[in-house]
Amino acid sequence: MKPARFHYVRPASIAEAVLLLAEHGEDASILAGGQSLMPVLNMRLSRPRVVVDINRIAKLKGIALADGAVRIGALARHVEVMRSPLIARHLPLIAEAMPNVAHVAVRNRGTFGGSVALADPSAEMPACLLALGGAVVLESTRGRRQVAAEDYFHGLYDTARRPDELLIEALIPPQRPDTLSAFMELSRRHGDFAIAGLACTLRHDAGVIHAPRLVYFGSEPRPVLARTAMAALDGKAWSPATHDAVAAALADDLDPIDNTFGSPAAKLHLQRVVTRRVLDGLPDKARAA
């Protein structure tokens, strides 16, 4: 298995990269960390005419807190995000999720932007971005636009990004000190593709839960904000009855994919297992916070 022939271009700036994308559009593949693109090139499942390697574009790198948002550059590698004190402090959900992203060698190379741009249904970062109410910045020769995560993930590997647009960065509001977050996924082996998973944030006051955001991934074509389950949790106290009601509500929010990892019914069951485990663990987490 070796990639089919392609032309390789290595733009040094965002301006140069978006010019290339404007010219080649759907004939071009953007190469960031390559941890998902390279396998499909090696297997020749994808045969782009042009590979645009964005790894040398300095402005796509780094993690910073500016204007009230955490900016994660598209080229920030998973390992950088995982080790970032800024992420640990302001986005503990992402810090908690990151060790679940693949394996060490893949995290050393894979990028935050690449994960969000590809929108693999079992990927952790798209789910976190949606749970945290973040946004992505896209740029083309036509200009720059910001798309909220809620409008960005359209379906299986399908996003709001157009073929001539480059994902520049993610902008994520810092978690408030009174926000609790939790992340859990189920996979066959640590680091493998998640079959079921939940990224969530919520606030609590004297044992009452407010403004929960529950995002399910792995079982669905795209990360799903589970609005019925959220409504079943909002304003309630932690209790087995509440947790059961949330788990039951999931039937209205989720429509799991049928594939070799399991039937829709099995995946709905697993998402309920994840939900109960996360909710059961949150009171202890709240006390520790």
Partner 1 sequence: MSLADDSLEETMAVTMTVNGERVSRAVPVRQNLIDFLRTGLGLTGSHIGCEHGICGACSLRLDGAVVRGCLTLAVQADGAEVVTIEGLTASGEAADLQAAFVERNALQCGYCTPGMLMTAAELLASDATPDRDGIREFMSGNFCRCTGYQAIVDAIETVLRKRRRLA
Contact positions vs partner 1 (CB under 8 A)? 1-10, 19-20, 23, 31, 34-35, 38-39, 41-43, 49-51, 53, 55, 79, 99, 102-106, 108-109, 189-191
CB closer to partner 1, 10 vs 269 = 10
Least distance between partner 1 and beta carbon 51 (Å) = 8
CB of 123 to partner 1, least distance (A): 14
What is the 3 state secondary structure string of the chain? CCCCCCEEECCCCHHHHHHHHHHHHHHEEEECCCCCHHHHHHCCCCCCCEEEECCCCHHHCCEEEECCEEEEECCCEHHHHHHCHHHHHHCHHHHHHHHHCCCHHHHCCCEHHHHHHHCCCCCHHHHHHHHCCCEEEEEECCEEEEEEHHHHEEECCEECCCCCCEEEEEEECCCCCCEEEEEEEECCCCCCCCCEEEEEEEEEECCEEEEEEEEEECCCCCCEECHHHHHHHCCCECCHHHHHHHHHHHHHHCCCCCECCECHHHHHHHHHHHHHHHHHHHHHHHHHC
Report CA 15 to chain centroid distance, whole Å. 26
Q: How far is the CB of 19 from partner 1 (least distance, A)?
A: 8
The distance of closest approach from Cβ of residue 185 to partner 1 in the complex, given in angstroms and rounded to an integer, is 14
Give Cβ neighbours of residue 249 (< 8 Å, ≥ 6 apart): 226, 228, 229, 231, 232
- Residue number with CB closer to partner 1 (112 or 152): 112
The nearer residue to partner 1, 103 or 176, going by C-beta atoms, is 103
* Cβ closest to partner 1, residue 22 vs residue 69: 22
Provide the minimum distance between the beta carbon of 241 and partner 1 in the complex, in angstroms, as a whole number. 34
CB closer to partner 1 out of 190 and 227: 190
Residue 245 Cβ, how far from partner 1 at the closest point, in Å? Answer: 34
**Least spacing, CB of residue 33 vs partner 1, in Å:** 8
> Which of residues 38 and 148 has its CB atom nearest to partner 1 in the complex?
38
Contacts of 97 (CB under 8 A, 6+ apart): 124, 125, 127, 128, 183, 199
Q: Return the number of the residue (108 or 242) whose C-beta is nearest partner 1.
A: 108
